[in-house]
């Protein structure tokens, strides 16, 4: 599994990037992403069952035309999540096609004009196997967290049921590829996947839809390590803003900057 991950992921110069408006997309061959797109205010991405089915049909064509590997997905009323890989380094083209075609189809059916999504799609580059697993867990349990169902297998518009063999999988879904990240051996890997997803996560996490970043809370970070190291971890690794950390600690933002500079020099 470690060798597989090493072959999949290429090193990039800046492993943790800060969000800025119109930030250039990080794209390279075989990169893996957690992608999310959210509808504009007072609109719903999916209203009827036909909308969910229409989107999945367009997702299937996107997967085929852009040679994507789609490991997991979950469609909710006002947004969706997809866990995917891009062998051809073409995430931007694929997502422009997916959202654009679906928006035009919806507008045509409902006699509506304008955008359907709030902004460009959001994404998070995944470079670690454990983070891949955490994201897979989050996507599967998203309908439960939203209060739509009691169990993830009760939500019909998610890949979770198909992965467990409870429904016929769509052709575009790479179930074997997903299960490889949980167990490299053949056999009852779906059981391993299911058991992992149902384990209690001991780390308190939050989901930042602006960054598409599933990360530990500041309380967890600062409760598990020395302060200066925790500041570095929060800002450099998990992309918390200086202002967020300063407010949490009751310090000035300038103090956070000085601590980061001092910690970086001593590291």
What CATH architecture applies to the domain 2-198?
Answer: 2-Layer Sandwich (3.30)
Residue with tokens 């800002």: 235
pLDDT, position 187: 58
With 50 as the cut, is the pLDDT of residue 69 above it? yes
Q: Which two tokens stand for residue 101?
A: 């075609």
- The partner residues of 84 in beta bridges, in order of sequence, read 33, 70
Contacts with 173 (C-beta within 8 Å, 6 or more apart), sequence order: 70, 71, 73, 159, 162, 163
pLDDT of residue 249: 93
Q: Count the Cβ atoms, other than its own, within 10 Å of residue 114.
A: 8
Position 85 scores a pLDDT of: 98
* Domain spans, the chain: 2-198, 217-266
- Tell me what percent of the residues of the chain surpass a pLDDT of 70: 75
Residue 114 has pLDDT above 70, yes or no: no
pLDDT of 97 reads 93
**pLDDT band per the 50, 70, 90 thresholds, residue 180:** confident
Q: Which two tokens stand for residue 38?
A: 């959210």
Tokens in use for 267?
């590291």
Q: How far is 190 from 247, CA to CA, in rounded Å?
A: 43
Which tens digit of pLDDT belongs to each residue from 201-253?
Answer: 555 666 666 555 667 888 888 988 899 989 988 888 787 889 889 999 999 98
- Confidence band of 181 (pLDDT split at 50, 70, 90): confident
pLDDT band at residue 71 under the 50/70/90 scheme: very high
- pLDDT (tens digit, 9 = 90+) per residue, 12-68? 222 333 333 344 578 999 999 999 988 765 567 788 888 999 999 999 999 999 999
Which residue, among 97, 71, 90, has the nearest Cα to 28 in the 3D structure? 90
CA neighbor of 200 nearest in space, from 141, 149, 127: 141
Percent of the chain with pLDDT over 90: 36
List of residues 6+ apart from 87 with CB closer than 8 A: 29, 30, 67, 68, 69
**Closest by alpha carbon to 223, among 239, 241, 236, 204?**
204
Banded model confidence at residue 161, pLDDT cuts 50, 70, 90: very high
Closest residue by Cα to residue 245 from 264, 262, 229, 265 = 229
Instruction: Give residue 93's pLDDT band: very low, low, confident or very high (50, 70, 90).
Output: very high
More confident: 159 or 209: 159
């Amino acid at each position: 599994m470690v060798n597989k991950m090493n072959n999949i992921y290429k090193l990039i110069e800046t492993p943790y990037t800060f969000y800025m408006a119109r930030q250039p997309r990080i794209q390279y061959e075989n990169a893996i992403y957690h992608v999310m797109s959210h509808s504009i205010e007072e609109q719903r991405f999916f209203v009827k069952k036909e909308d969910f089915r229409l989107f999945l049909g367009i997702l299937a064509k996107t997967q085929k035309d852009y040679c994507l590997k789609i490991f997991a997905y979950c469609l909710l009323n006002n947004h969706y999540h997809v866990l995917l890989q891009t062998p051809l380094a073409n995430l931007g083209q694929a997502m422009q096609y997916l959202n654009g075609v679906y928006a035009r189809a919806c507008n045509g059916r409902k006699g509506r004009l304008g955008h359907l999504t709030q902004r460009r799609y959001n994404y998070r580059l995944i470079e670690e196997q454990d983070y891949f697993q955490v994201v897979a867990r989050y996507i599967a349990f998203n309908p439960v967290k939203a209060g739509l169902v009691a169990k993830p297998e009760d939500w019909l518009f998610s890949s979770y049921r198909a992965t467990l063999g409870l429904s016929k999988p769509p052709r575009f879904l790479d179930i074997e590829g997903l299960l490889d990240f949980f167990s490299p051996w053949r056999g009852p890997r779906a059981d391993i996947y299911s058991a992992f997803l149902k384990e209690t996560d001991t780390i308190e996490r939050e989901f930042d839809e602006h960054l598409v970043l599933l990360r530990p809370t500041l309380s967890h970070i600062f409760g598990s390590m020395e302060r200066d190291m925790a500041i570095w971890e929060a800002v450099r690794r998990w992309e918390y803003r200086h202002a967020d950390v300063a407010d949490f600690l009751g310090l000035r933002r300038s103090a956070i900057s000085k601590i980061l500079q001092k910690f970086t020099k001593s590291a």
